Amino acid sequence: MDFNTLCIHGNSEKYDTTGAVSVPIFQSATFAHPAVGESTGYDYSRQQNPTREHLEKIMVKLEGGFDALAFSTGMAAIGAVMELFSPGDHIIASDDLYGGSHRLFHQISMKNGISFDFVNTSDISMIESHIQPNTKGVFIETPTNPMMQVTDIKAVAELTKRHNLILIVDNTFLTPYFQKPIKLGADIVVHSGTKYLGGHNDTLAGFVVVNDEKISDRLRFIYKTTGACLSPFDSWLMIRGIKTLPIRMDKQQENAMKLANWLGDQQKVKTVYYIGLPTHPGYEISQRQGSGFGAMISFEVDSEKTVRDILEKVSLIQYAESLGGVETLITYPMLQTHGDIPKAEREAKGINECLLRLSVGIESAQDLIDDLARVIKGE
């Protein structure tokens, strides 16, 4: 079945007898037992709920995995994955990460006895050189947030399999529409469903998709024990959002390409980071391992004054955290998404006072360009 069709009909199971086209919202915390020792298959919504199950089965189809779990947020999803590891374990992770992941690893996971090495995972030799006897996993974002570094998932998967490591890929930026890490060899895929999968900036959600029954069983136990499950109503919002994922992402990518090219011609713009540009160092890998480039752009301007002018004077583009929605959002990573990272560390990665991140929406590309041109060019 085609991906576009799967987004709408990826789970054909019926949960009621009314003929409702939209899956019902089973807004129930608990479910009655038919008799002693019998169950309808649903007992308590922390463990499973029909609306959430419907969503999870769609995500399994979209990512091509064995099982999917829907969480209350993307960080709850990553937090649950970290519970697969034990004190004394070592993980290698991308050195350019979403600030929330950086905060979790440094402030929570390390406290719990897990050690990390953060490396440029686009360089496979860097990953291999940091493997230790106690290394248990590799965690990558590709493209990374916010510097848009690209990692060859298949090459990393071959490396992790040789060393019996778990490969975890954050696929938030590209979604399974443009990139399928499990088919490239990943063991676990994580998402902030808040972003492109939901697509409307109106709900928080997270996903873990796994390709192994044993990992699924362990995560299901962690899931029901720690309880960060997605609510029935938010599950329904995610189901609704996923139905339009392909057409949204096609338009967003089209707009992003136009904006990236336009930004590259502006005198006040020093560098444009967009994986869809042939000049991007990860362009060929992106072409090989995905079917699209997404709609995330980071760009560095000439001064902090230009940054402030853009953030304070754009009118159509909104200065806000998050990404992936139908509305175009602009973010100042050093103050927002990466504000908790020490200055020297973030600046070493290129996250400085002149870097902005743009999540391109589905508006008219020309209107978005006009909004930026009015500020950058003083038009």
Q: What is the pLDDT, as a whole number, of residue 239?
A: 98
Q: For position 352, which CATH number holds?
A: 3.90.1150.10
- Tens digit of pLDDT for each residue in 343-372? 888 778 888 999 999 999 999 999 999 999
CATH number of the domain at 65, please: 3.40.640.10
Active-site pick, 89, 152, 170, 187: 170
Residues 257 and 319 grouped into a single domain: yes
Model confidence at 379, pLDDT cuts 50, 70, 90, reads: low
Check residues 335 and 53 and name the one with the higher pLDDT.
53
Residues 170 and 311 in one domain: no
Domain edge (last residue) among 197, 223, 243: 243
Q: What is the pLDDT of residues 197-253, one digit of tens each?
A: 999 999 999 999 999 999 999 999 999 999 999 999 999 999 999 999 999 999 999
Are residues 317 and 234 part of one domain?
Answer: no
> What's the domain count of the chain?
2
Same domain, 208 and 255: no
Q: Encode pLDDT of 143-152 as tens digits.
A: 999 999 999 9
pLDDT (0 to 100) of residue 40: 92
Looking up tokens 């560390």, which residue turns up? 345
Q: Are residues 23 and 157 in the same domain?
A: yes
pLDDT reported for residue 242: 98
Beta strand pairing call for 188-192 and 166-170 = parallel
pLDDT of residue 332: 95
Same domain, 209 and 314: no
Q: Which of 61, 95, 96, 98 is catalytic?
A: 98
Q: Is 46 one of the catalytic residues?
A: yes
Query: 288 catalytic, yes or no?
Result: no
Verify whether residue 187 is a known catalytic residue.
no
Which of 17, 44, 64, 378 lies closest to 210, judged by CA? Answer: 64
**Are 228 and 318 in a shared domain?**
no
Same domain, 221 and 259: no
Q: Which of 52, 61, 195, 346 is catalytic?
A: 195
